[in-house]
Amino acid sequence: MFNMDQTTTTTTTMNEPDAKRVRLDPSIDLLFSQASSSRSNSSGTPETEPDPLHLSRRFATGLNERCWDDPCNAHFHPTYRALHDNVKTEITHEQEHMMHRALCAQFPDFHMEILSESIDMNEMAGTAIVWLFIRVTGTLPGVQRDAIGVFRWKKERGKWWCVYHAGLREPMAVY
């Protein structure tokens, strides 16, 4: 049952100086259009595309190059966690890094192709969510798998940090 005690006093208009409003989870803001939000389904150019989009793409394509010491790894926040649907619990960046290295060692032809990408960014709040729609090949002979990577970002002191990654329909997941 909804608890009406979860309210906060806000000034909304001149006609309603002390209106009561239900306090919502801040992530709900992504559902509403905001002047400060940008949505994009195109990558833009390296000079104009948002850092979270560029870095998320680099995380994925870096696996193709087996670039384990890529400078973009400096953008994983110390509290970063990842959840892949082929792993039972959330893992740290170090654990995810080891998992990717093992996957690429087991399947030398492993390759990720980015089919499409999208970003919701609120520059004023310093938050962004990036979706990468990916095709994975090179695991089992003749098998290709489409997957989704969702990356959550926050900006602290001028630097974008990846704080969370969810991998859906992972290459080695069993359904």
Query: Which structural domains are found in the chain, ordered by start?
Result: 38-168 (3.10.450.50)
The model's confidence at residue 26, banded by pLDDT at 50, 70 and 90, is low
Would the pTM of this model clear 0.75, i.e. be above it? Answer: no
Answer for the pair 21, 5: CB distance below 8 angstroms, yes or no.
no
What is the structure's pLDDT at 14? 42
d(CA 138, CA 119): 27
pLDDT in tens, 153-170: 999 999 999 999 999 876
Q: List CB contacts of 174: < 8 A, sequence separation 6 or more.
A: 86
The model's confidence at residue 34, banded by pLDDT at 50, 70 and 90, is very low
